[in-house]
Structure 1
Amino acid sequence: MIKKTIISFLVVTLLLVIPAHADMHKVKHVENGSWSASFVVKSSKNTIKSVKDIHYHATLGKIISYKVSHPNKATVVLKLKRQIGLVTYRVGLKAHVDNNKLSVSPV
């Protein structure tokens, strides 16, 4: 009985200690003299698991809002609303993982 308990404890401990395989990707885009944005994407098996460390900065004007969406399991989109004077622009980044490779494009 004690032997089974010890084995069960060791198996549970190993499951909790050994992390699942996941890739971390830093996504960064700079529009010279305009704005920049970056975030970190955690992906595993062609699926984006999480997005964290979101940073954005307007060199000209200001960022008035941002939104992160996850339209499907392999794509994440960061949309920024940028204001220069009275004019508002929408800019953003899209990150997509396919075959464990990350591609980034402007929105």
Structure 2
Amino acid sequence: MIEHPRAEELVEAVARWIEGVRPGLAPRDAFLARVAGNALGVVRRELAQGPTAEAAATARLAALLGHAGDHGELTAELCGRLRAGEMDRDTPGLLAALKANIQDQIAIDQPSYVPEPDS
């Protein structure tokens, strides 16, 4: 097994390189370089936080649905139950589980996003 460079190290190296060359680029290319750098930030956070977020989401879905399973299976089952009308916004725990799952995903995708307070 190859131990180095790890995915996190590769992402960081490319992000640093982009930031180093970006100031000398034409405006359009500088913008695209910033977009690429932001995408690498999402990848970096996904590598660092994704497994924990997915495990937490899986546990929440398993508790909600009443049985264990992998994240994809549980998500598909929840979607099916929602489509069939077997679950809705009044289902105990549903909105709390979805909100927690979304907050974990936003922390990876858009960490500077600040949601409006609940009303």
Whose relative contact order is higher, 1 or 2, with alpha carbons under 8 Å and at least 6 apart?
A: 2
Q: Please indicate, yes or no, whether the TM-score normalized by the shorter chain is above 0.5.
A: no
TM-score (norm 2): 0.27
Say which structure is richer in strand. Answer: 1
Query: Which is higher, the Rg of structure 1 or of structure 2?
Result: 1
